[in-house]
Each structure stands twice: as C-alpha cells, then as structure tokens.
Structure 1
C-alpha cells in the first residue's frame, strides 16, 4: 500500500495466511459451543451491527480514495476496516458465548430470505478471510498489480459480508427477547 517501498516477496506470508484462514473459523466455531454464565453490561447485537455498517462505509470510502489516487488515505481506511472487522468478531463471539441464540420468527418468503442472507453471510465471512489477508499482504509488500487484481474480488465479498451483517440484524431484531 505504500508505493515508496520496493517490492517485497509476499509469498513468505502464505503459511500465516493459510493458518489464520483455518484457525479463525475453527476457533469461532469452538467458542460457539462454549457458554459462559455471565451477563454482558450492554446488548451487543446493535453495536456489532453498527460496526458492520461502519465497515461497509469505510470499505466504500477506501475504494473511492484509491480511485482518486489517495493511496495513504486508502491504506489507513483499509487498516480501519480490518480493525473494525476484528472488533466485530470479538463482540459477536462474546455475545454468543453469553447469550442463547435468537430464533427468527418470520414466516413465508421473509423466512426464506432471512435464511438465504444469513447462510450466505456466514459462508462469505469465512471465504473472505484469506482474500482480505492476501490483499492486505500484497498491499503492504508493494505488490500493487497483484494487490489490485485480488482486491477486485475481495472488495465485493467483504462489502457483501458487512452489508448482510446489518440486514441479518435488522431482520432478527424484532425477535430478541
């Protein structure tokens, strides 16, 4: 992402990217099975849904910045998006470790829409992990052409995950106890 650096070999990060792409979903799945008898001081779903909305906005702003040649702004916004996504993940796991899952109460077409959005959101949130990591590494190692190539895939996937996270919250929020 910093064009003043010489090209650095980004393949040395491949093992770390593969490990994180496997470990993160596995750890999240394991933690979903862990229940802690604790009451959180705040109700997290609207907070992490808001984080998803802000992430979507930051991603769009980063896209606009890079299109406008504002590379340093793009880099800062992308780091912000990664931090927001990590913050979301921590809150999401904390909520599900301390609270029972909420059942969707809608019926008919709305129910099918909800589950389609939820399932694709979950699947894409797993799929996007290596894409984000590879795209980021290619940026920080100044492998700009390869960065641009994969960013064309990463951006819509990540944006989809962020937006559908908000939609899932909006659709299930009437059913929170």
Structure 2
C-alpha cells in the first residue's frame, strides 16, 4: 500500500512539475529576443502543421465525446490517446517554431515584424482586436488546461474513473476551445506569413 501511495505522489508531483515547466519554457522561448539560428526555412512550415494538429485534435476530441456517449469505452480511449498524442506533437512543433522564428504580427502587411501607423487602419484594427482577444484566451486556457489533461489521463490510466469523470467535465470543453481557437488564430494570421 505504501508503494502505491509513493507512486501516486510521484506521478502527481511529475504532473505539477510539467504543468508549470511547459508554460514557463514556452513563454521564455516566445519572449526571448534572440532565436536559435541555423534551423533552416523548413521551420516556416510548422505553423501550417500546427493548424493541422489543432484541426485533427478538434475532430478526435469530438469523436471521443461521441464514443463515450455511446458507451464505447475502447473507441473513446483510442480517440483520447490520439488527441493526447496530437497535442504532444503540437507542443514540440510549437516550441521548435517559436525558438527559431519570430512570431508573425497580425496586420503586418509589409512583413517587417512591426505594426506601423500606416497598417493601423480602422477595419484592420477591429479585426486585430478580435484576433488578440481570441489569441490571448487561447494562450491562457492552453496553459491552464495542461494539468487538467494530465490528471484526466492519469486517472483514466489508473482506473480512477470517478475522478476522471469529475475532471473531464472541466477539461474537455477547455481543451476543445483551445484546439478550435488554435485553428481560428492560424486562419486569421496565416495571410501575414511570409514563408
């Protein structure tokens, strides 16, 4: 029994460490002015790949919901495992991109990385405001959902189904929102990608 409690505490500690480390590392990579050099032009394909990961995650999450409503636990587990894998691949791709390339600025028509006065037109600023609200909610909830997703998987894998059910009531809608808004953000900013 003591071994089980020790393992549970170890996994719980690991989940909290990852839940703090992931957003911190991502923030450092995004806000560090110096990017890692020498990665090559292939990194400019990563935002498109990330949008694909988010689209597939949305579809798979909805399939996971459908299967659990049908009481098809095996298919549900498969879909949620695929969603978790897609999310992990997204995270790796996202970190590689933001550690090697500057972020694209919404409304930066001339592609110089700065929103200049001439680019701050009325209609464009309205859509930029909408974009920023969606982007900020996406980023904030993406950071918040990490421990919930990890605990949901931990509870499912350790057959703590009641705890799993309680946590996914909050986790699922947040995760779905993050994946959908990831696609929306990409769709809005992709017209400003240079490569």
What is the TM-score of this pair, normalised by structure 2?
A: 0.82
CA distance in 1, matches of 2:26, 2:50: 16
CA distance in 1, matches of 2:146, 2:100: 25
Q: Pick from 22, 40, 51: which aligns with 1:24?
A: 22
CA distance in 2, matches of 1:56, 1:11: 30
Q: Pick from 163, 166, 173: which aligns with 1:149?
A: 166
CA distance in 2, matches of 1:176, 1:96: 14
Corresponding residue of 2:42: 41
Matching of residue 109 in structure 1 with residue 126 in structure 2: yes
Alignment RMSD, CA only? Answer: 1.7
CA distance in 1, matches of 2:65, 2:140: 23
Long gaps (5+) in structure 1: 1-7
Q: Is the 8 A contact 1:62 1:77 kept in 2?
A: yes
Rg: which structure is higher? Answer: 2
Q: Which moved more, 1:17-26 or 1:27-36?
A: 27-36
Long gaps (5+) in structure 2: 108-122
Q: Once the 2 structures are TM-superposed, how far is the Cα of residue 11 of structure 1 from its aligned partner?
A: 4.3
**Number of equivalences:** 170
CA distance in 2, matches of 1:14, 1:97: 29
Q: Once the 2 structures are TM-superposed, how far is the Cα of residue 173 of structure 1 from its aligned partner?
A: 0.8
Q: Pick from 147, 162, 170: which aligns with 2:179?
A: 162
What pairs with 1:109-148 in structure 2 (closer than 5 Å)?
A: 109-148=126-165
Q: Once the 2 structures are TM-superposed, how far is the Cα of residue 140 of structure 1 from its aligned partner?
A: 0.9
Q: Which moved more, 1:8-17 or 1:60-69?
A: 8-17
Q: Once the 2 structures are TM-superposed, how far is the Cα of residue 112 of structure 1 from its aligned partner?
A: 1.2
CA distance in 1, matches of 2:72, 2:50: 29
Q: Once the 2 structures are TM-superposed, how far is the Cα of residue 40 of structure 1 from its aligned partner?
A: 3.7
SS of the residue aligned with 2:28? Answer: helix
